[in-house]
Amino acid sequence: MIPSTYPAREEIARLTARMLLEIEAVHFNADEPFTLASGLPSPTYIDCRKLISFPRIRSTLMDFLTVTVMRDAGFEAFDNIAGGETAGIPFAAMVAERMALPMTYVRKKPKGYGRNARIEGAMSEGQRVLLVEDLTTDGGSKLSFVDAIRETGATCGHTAVIFYYGIFPETVPNLREHGVELHHLCTWWDVLAEARDQGSFSKDTLDEVEAFLTAPRAWQDARKGA
């Protein structure tokens, strides 16, 4: 069912951050930083995949994501909802259900046998496709999915995520240069503000997280090989 209520953008961000903290999807550790997929250190880590195990929260966030996309992109802007393998697949399915649209998913690479397809499901030339993912850092991984969608003759000018890092200034310009608009529910700044309000972590930890969010590349460079 398509949601009929539209919370203010700021309230959506605050509540999303609160839910992520509540299910312990957010991890802060300044003393023993996490290693990201890039190999770089970070005092922050978020696991949006945990959301699928919390029905009330996942339902609310999918309502939020659906109304955010419709408000920002239009009520009749899409013909197909595509999820990126693997984390985006369940969220794309839930958004597609709410918008009463077909759902597909995009593989990271061809499966290597059979049709050797990257697109699973029915996607046709001329369809306007929304790419749904769990999160984005710098937007780079989205471009491969977008290109795979466009190779079918469909168009893809929008991607929607639950969580956007919001700390790398090149993200939105890079996506826009590729013809893609980003829609999201909350960022690290929203999570940090809610964590401070809740007292979820020590002040020293949150101060170090803020230092990272303010200058992530400098923070990482100072700790490479540490």
Question: Is 134 labelled as part of a ligand binding site?
Answer: yes
In a domain, 225, yes or no: no
Question: Is 111 labelled as part of a ligand binding site?
Answer: yes
- Residue 151's pLDDT is 94
Which two structure tokens, joined as six digits, stand for 183?
């829609």
What does the pLDDT profile of the chain (226 residues) look like in tens digits? 666 667 899 999 999 999 999 999 999 998 888 987 777 789 999 999 999 999 999 999 999 999 999 999 999 999 999 999 999 999 999 999 999 999 999 999 887 665 658 999 999 999 999 999 999 988 888 899 999 999 999 999 999 999 999 999 999 999 999 999 999 999 999 999 999 999 989 999 999 999 999 999 899 888 876 5
Q: How many domains does the chain have?
A: 1
Range of the domain at 210: 9-218
DSSP string, 62-83: HHHHHHHHHHHH-TT--SEEEE
Rounded CA-CA distance 71/160 in Å is 12
Question: Is 179 labelled as part of a ligand binding site?
Answer: no
In a domain, 224, yes or no: no
Query: Side-chain half-sphere of 45: how many Cα atoms within 13 Å?
Result: 17
Question: Is 107 labelled as part of a ligand binding site?
Answer: yes
Nearest C-alpha neighbor of 107 from the set 115, 116, 119, 96: 119
- Residue 144's pLDDT is 93
In a domain, 3, yes or no: no
DSSP, res 168: -
- Residue 93's pLDDT is 98
Which two structure tokens, joined as six digits, stand for 108?
């990271």
In a domain, 82, yes or no: yes
CATH number at residue 140: 3.40.50.2020
Rounded CA-CA distance 39/169 in Å is 20
pTM of the complete model: 0.93
Question: Is 88 labelled as part of a ligand binding site?
Answer: no
Question: Is 42 labelled as part of a ligand binding site?
Answer: no
In a domain, 51, yes or no: yes
In a domain, 223, yes or no: no
DSSP, res 52: G
Nearest C-alpha neighbor of 78 from the set 179, 162, 157, 183: 157
Residue 102's alpha-carbon distances to 121, 126, 207, in angstroms, are 9, 14, 44
Answer yes or no: are the C-beta atoms of 121 and 154 closer than 8 Å: no
- Residue 116's pLDDT is 59
Question: Is 137 labelled as part of a ligand binding site?
Answer: yes
- Residue 117's pLDDT is 81
Question: Is 50 labelled as part of a ligand binding site?
Answer: no
Residue 173's CB is within 10 A of a number of other CB atoms, namely 10
- Residue 1's pLDDT is 62
- Residue 30's pLDDT is 85
